[in-house]
Amino acid sequence: MSNPSLLILPGDGIGPEVMAEVRKIIDWYGTKRDLTFDVSEDLVGGAAYDKHGVPLADATMDKAQEVDAVLLGAVGGPKYDSLDFSVKPERGLLRLRKEMDLYANLRPAQCFDALADFSSLKRDVVAGLDIMIVRELTSGVYFGEPRGIFEEGNERVGINTQRYTESEIDRVARSAFELAMKRDKKLCSMEKANVMESGVLWREVVTKVGEDYPEVELSHMYADAGAMQLTRWPKQFDVIVTDNLFGDLLSDLAAMLTGSLGMLPSASLGAPMANGRPKALYEPVHGSAPDIAGQGKANPIACILSFAMALRYSFDAGDEATRLEEAVNAVLADGLRTADLLGEEGVQPVSTSEMGDAIVAKLDASL
């Protein structure tokens, strides 16, 4: 039986630095847990543009379609700001999402106890928080037609169209219900059915899908009320499913509840492949942070936790994902902090590579 395959795309800025720490983790699993991956590496974003003149080469896209999972670092930077929109680094990431048809974006918001005081909310509100937002990623207002800026009379008008089909709602809803079945069997669907016809359809389809998952407690909430409730008492939620626009806003809001956007991973999942695994792209939520690139200041935890998500959702290794998450938690509990997490008394500043080494040491201690 062949090893599972993983394509690594470090990208730009701090991407290569944080990905180097993930490689340590991958090597550890191969050596200590007999969990070996066939790893290949390629270019995306500005790095791809510098070599190929495009943010994602066709050959790289072909590789991404063939492997079991893709792990991406970050793309972009001011060096590329003057490029034509069609070849900006971010277009490489968007092409991956579109051509792999990655329609379900999983954004966890987990607050490690050691970092609860970093949140702008009170400790008791966020300590122990562990929620998942499932955002529809390939349709909605970002993709609907007509769209553009047009002349209308003596002024310009900007148009974007919110559009969803039943099948698009159905498939992301099923992803969310399947996820809820593996967690606390509680799902909240958020839309604006009170003012948007697309919201009415969304609620109807999600409710219909829910009939196939009688064990899951399904609730509905208007997205603006959901934003308010996320800041009032976020631990009332477990899994949230919502559309592309609201998911974009709500997942960033939920991310900051944890105190550090730089700590959070994400997964984008598509339809099952022939082997039953979903097409999948894993990436940290943070950007390329070119201002600190090459200085050893970057926090690799979000990228490492993205690999943990790959273990859980692409490689059927949930126990090993939990092992890695617990190792991260243990390192933070010991007071080790990269530059983005400094500010408390009594913590120990560490570099990017030192953080990776510390997590590997905790993995060793878990055996």
DSSP string, 255-307: HHHTT-GGG-EEEEEEEE-TTSPEEEEEEESS---GGGTTTT----HHHHHHH
What tens digit of pLDDT does each residue of 125-160 get? Answer: 998 899 999 999 999 999 999 999 999 999 999 999
Q: Verify whether residue 50 is a known catalytic residue.
A: no
Task: Determine the Cα–Cα distance for residues 130 and 329; give it in Å rounded to an integer.
Answer: 13
Active-site residue, selected from the candidate residues 222, 248, 313, 340: 248
Put the strands of the sheet holding 69-74 in their side by side order.
38-41, 5-11, 69-74, 278-284, 265-272, 104-110, 130-136, 239-242, 186-191, 217-222
Residues in the chain predicted with pLDDT less than 70, given as ranges, are 1
* Three-state SS at 32: helix
Q: Is 292 labelled a binding residue?
A: yes
- Residue 14 burial class via C-beta count within 10 angstroms: exposed 0-12, middle 13-18, buried 19 and up: buried
Q: Verify whether residue 357 is a known catalytic residue.
A: no
What tens digit of pLDDT does each residue of 299-349 get? Answer: 999 999 999 999 999 999 999 999 999 999 999 999 999 998 887 778 899
Active-site residue, selected from the candidate residues 130, 184, 252, 334: 252
Q: Verify whether residue 248 is a known catalytic residue.
A: yes
Active-site residue, selected from the candidate residues 50, 184, 224, 357: 224
Active-site residue, selected from the candidate residues 12, 29, 42, 192: 192
Is 130-257 assigned to CATH 3.40.1480.10?
no
What tens digit of pLDDT does each residue of 40-54 get? Answer: 999 999 999 999 999
Give the pLDDT score at 277: 84
Is 1-111+261-367 assigned to CATH 3.40.718.10?
yes
Q: Is 268 labelled a binding residue?
A: no
Q: Is 248 labelled a binding residue?
A: yes
Active-site residue, selected from the candidate residues 24, 101, 142, 334: 142
Q: Is 135 labelled a binding residue?
A: yes
Does residue 255 contact residue 106 with C-beta atoms inside 8 Å?
A: no
The pTM score is 0.91
The residues of the chain that CATH labels 3.40.718.10 are 1-111+261-367, 130-257
135 DSSP assignment: E
The string of DSSP codes covering 106-132 is EEEEE--GGGGGGSSS-HHHHTT-EEE
Q: Verify whether residue 117 is a known catalytic residue.
A: no
